[in-house]
Structure 1
């Protein structure tokens, strides 16, 4: 969730990169759902370079 700042900080600290924000109709009653969700990603090359 976009509003879960602790989770987003963890993903950043692990080397994942922000990919996109999006909205879906899964459960609009979730607290913070109006702000949408976020997706993080990494490539194999980025992950291997980070481990060096």
Structure 2
């Protein structure tokens, strides 16, 4: 488990180091177009009826 800096602020260098370690370990980065979620819905969309009473 990695330690967070005392003030919990990640610096650019820390992010670059973590990214390099991730890629070196075989991880990959996938480009996701703007407006598209990276999450997959297990079920269909849920509709809420606000006028039911």
TM-score for the superposition, normalised by structure 1? 0.31
Structure with greater contact order relative to length (CA < 8 Å, sep ≥ 6)? 1
TM-score for the superposition, normalised by structure 2? 0.30
Q: Which has the larger radius of gyration?
A: 2
Give the structure with the larger strand fraction. Answer: 1
Give the structure with the larger helix fraction. Answer: 1
